[in-house]
Amino acid sequence: MADLYRLLPEEMEQLVIDMGYPRYRADQILLPLYYKFPKDINDIPQLPKKLREELTEAGYTIGSAKEVHRVVSNNGDVTKLLLDLTDENSVETVLMQYAPSKIGGHPRSTICVSTQIGCAMGCVFCATGQMGFETNLKAEHIVSQVIHFADILQQQGEHVTNLVFMGMGEPMANYDEMIRAVRILTHDRGFGLGQRHITISTIGITSGIDKLAEENLQVGLAISLHSPNNELRKKLVPTATPNSVEEIIEAGRRYYKKTGRRVTFEYALMAGINDSSEIAEELSILLKGNGSHVNLIPINPTAGDFKSPTQDNVDEFERILSDAGVNCTVRVEKGTEISAACGQLRTDIVG
């Protein structure tokens, strides 16, 4: 079976031409796919019946994610779904909604998508990492997560504004499928999301960072740092290389030089582990003057034995970085009470 959500617009065009139909038939498929969200090829009535039949006979389908379970945060601004993407694989995907930041502004709807089920990186503070690795998701499975929420938002009179590859899995460990999904989702004849509205997060796979820099994409890059020194980082990220801190800082510099896009370093603050003033000073020395941004993330409770830092410690950590001239913000976590916040995703719900 071949999923139409896997095809780039140019590939869709070639498909209809190879089947003996004029080029414009491709747009008669693409427009409904990304704006009407059909569940079946026969839900595209503008296509000739003969073409719909031939596509079906050739094994083409419209892969739609089946919603198994839905949970919504207390204030309604975070929705976590468990989606069946195939007969065997279920994955968690999260929608975060934000009110307009200014009068007359527009609401923001960010989808946090998964690229794998489970994760092989083994981060000790991450629920997904504690699952172990199960499988990579195909590009069409990644796209289907976005389409499912886009359909929900459209019924609310809203639309997807941002996309973050920060769900289950390590995007760089499923590089080719992740990039294919990005190109489909940003293509002006596909989903049409602006490249600058997408952020790809990685634990620091430098080969993937360098490949991404060569893709001629204007997407954001977020690198999970979590420690200013290799000894501590290795304890938190068991798969890290012996010199991972220096390697990912340098990879970030290369990415910025090639793309002109500022790199964000994500730093999960854990009480008594990496939230001290001394470590903040060490981090400020490491990052001072390199033009990057630090996103401080007070850790959420997971299956691991980690606790959130006190607000005083968070404030002091931020002050030390800011005083050193390091641009930083503290992430306001959303969806913690429904296990939808950073580091909490794991498919432990049975529909």
Look at residue 350 in the predicted model and tell me its pLDDT: 42
Question: Would you say residue 346 lies in a domain?
Answer: no
Query: Are residue 174 and residue 254 in the same domain, yes or no?
Result: yes
Question: Would you say residue 350 lies in a domain?
Answer: no
DSSP 138: P
Strand bridging mode 108-112 / 90-98:
antiparallel
Which domain-ending residue is among 44, 61, 78? 61
How many Å apart are CA 257 and CA 290, to the nearest integer?
11
Which domain-ending residue is among 12, 40, 61? 61
Query: Are residue 104 and residue 207 in the same domain, yes or no?
Result: yes
Question: Would you say residue 344 lies in a domain?
Answer: no
Find, among 123, 342, 341, the residue nearest to 232 by Cα: 123
Query: Are residue 310 and residue 220 in the same domain, yes or no?
Result: yes
Burial profile 63-91: b = 16 or more Cβ within 10 angstroms, e = fewer:
bbbbebeebebeeebbbbbbbbbbeebbb
Look at residue 155 in the predicted model and tell me its pLDDT: 94
How many Å apart are CA 156 and CA 122, to the nearest integer?
38
Strand partners, 116: 136
Note the helical H segments in the chain.
9-18, 25-35, 49-57, 127-131, 139-155, 175-186, 206-213, 230-236, 244-259, 277-287, 311-323
Query: Are residue 32 and residue 102 in the same domain, yes or no?
Result: no
Question: Would you say residue 289 lies in a domain?
Answer: yes
CATH code: domain of residue 332: 3.20.20.70
Query: Are residue 168 and residue 278 in the same domain, yes or no?
Result: yes
**Catalytic entry in 11, 67, 92, 247:** 92
Query: Are residue 138 and residue 38 in the same domain, yes or no?
Result: no
Is 123 labeled as catalytic in the residue annotation?
no
| pTM score | 0.92
Look at residue 304 in the predicted model and tell me its pLDDT: 62
Query: Are residue 231 and residue 203 in the same domain, yes or no?
Result: yes
How many Å apart are CA 212 and CA 6, to the nearest integer?
20
Look at residue 276 in the predicted model and tell me its pLDDT: 97
Query: Are residue 262 and residue 221 in the same domain, yes or no?
Result: yes
Find, among 31, 33, 29, the residue nearest to 14 by Cα: 29
Sheet with 78-84: list strands edge to edge. Answer: 66-72, 78-84, 90-98, 108-112, 162-165, 198-202, 220-224, 263-269, 293-298, 327-330
What is the count of structural domains for the chain?
A: 2
**Catalytic entry in 119, 123, 328, 342:** 342
Strand partners, 84: 66, 90
Which domain-ending residue is among 61, 86, 103? 61
Q: State the 10-residue block means of pLDDT for the chain, 351 residues long.
A: 94 98 97 96 96 97 89 89 81 90 79 94 85 92 96 95 95 98 98 98 97 97 97 96 97 95 96 97 95 92 77 97 96 59 52 39
The phi and psi torsions of 196 (rounded to 5 degrees) equal -70, -5
Strand bridging mode 220-224 / 116-118:
unpaired
Look at residue 107 in the predicted model and tell me its pLDDT: 84
Query: Are residue 174 and residue 313 in the same domain, yes or no?
Result: yes
CATH code: domain of residue 25: 1.10.150.530
Question: Would you say residue 345 lies in a domain?
Answer: no
Query: Are residue 52 and residue 101 in the same domain, yes or no?
Result: no
Query: Are residue 128 and residue 216 in the same domain, yes or no?
Result: yes
How many Å apart are CA 201 and CA 222, to the nearest integer?
5
Question: Would you say residue 104 lies in a domain?
Answer: yes
Enclosing domain of residue 328? 66-338
Query: Are residue 163 and residue 261 in the same domain, yes or no?
Result: yes
Tokens of 197: 């509205």
Question: Would you say residue 44 lies in a domain?
Answer: yes
How many Å apart are CA 54 and CA 57, to the nearest integer?
5
User: Amino acid identity of 256?
Assistant: Y
Is 92 labeled as catalytic in the residue annotation?
yes
